[in-house]
Homo-oligomer: A and B are copies of this chain.
Amino acid sequence: MDQVANRLNRLHGYYFEDLEVGMIDAFAKTITEADILAFSGTSGDTNPVHLNEEFAENTIFGGRIAHGILTASLISTVIGTKLPGPGCIYVNQSLKFKAPVRAGDTVTAEVEIVELIPEKKFIKLRTVCIVGGKVVIDGEATIMVPSRADA
C-alpha cells in the first residue's frame, strides 16, 4: 500500500467483517442557542416554536424547543464518525420523536448493532437519543458497510 492509500485508510471506520451484533457506540453534545440559530439558517426552518419564545410559550411545549432533526443529526454523527465510521453509506433511518429537547440539554446519541445482513453488507442499528436518562428520539438505521475484500 502506498503512503497516500495508507493515510486514507487510517481515516476509515470499521469494515463489515469487523462488526458484531451488540456493538455499541455513542456521541454526546449539549444543544445550545447557537446550534438552534445555525440549524435554522442551514435548514431554512424558521418555525416560531424554535425561534419565538412568545409563540412557543403558548404551545404544549411551554417554550422554545430544538428542531427534532437537529437532535437526530447526532445519530448520523455516531454512525458516520464512530460505528461503523467513515466509509459507510446511510441507507435509511426511522425517527420517532418522543419528547422535546431544549437549549442547554445534553443529548447522548447511542447506536447498537441489532442485525448483520452479509449478502447485502447491510447492518441494522437501533438508534436512540437520550436526555437525562429519558429517550427523546427512538428509531432504527440501515447502513451499508464496505468489505475488507473491496478496500
Contact = CB atoms under 8 A, between A and B. Distances in A.
Contacts of A39: 39, 42, 73
A63 interface: no
Interface in A66-100: 67-70, 72-77, 80-81, 85-87, 89-97
B91 A94 contact: no
A74 B67 CA distance: 11
Given A45-B73, A45-B76, A92 B90 contact: no
A132 interface: no
Given A55-B11, A81-B47, A68 B94 contact: no
Contacts of A44: 27, 29, 74, 77, 81
Interface string A36-64: 00110111111111101011001110000
A149 interface: no
A8 interface: yes
5 contacts: A27-B44, A45-B73, A45-B77, A48-B86, A50-B80
Interface of A: 4, 8, 11, 27, 29, 35, 38-39, 41-50, 52, 54-55, 58-60, 67-70, 72-77, 80-81, 85-87, 89-97
Which 9 pairs between the two chains have the least Cβ-Cβ distance? A47-B80, A43-B73, A45-B77, A35-B42, A92-B96, A69-B73, A69-B76, A94-B94, A44-B77
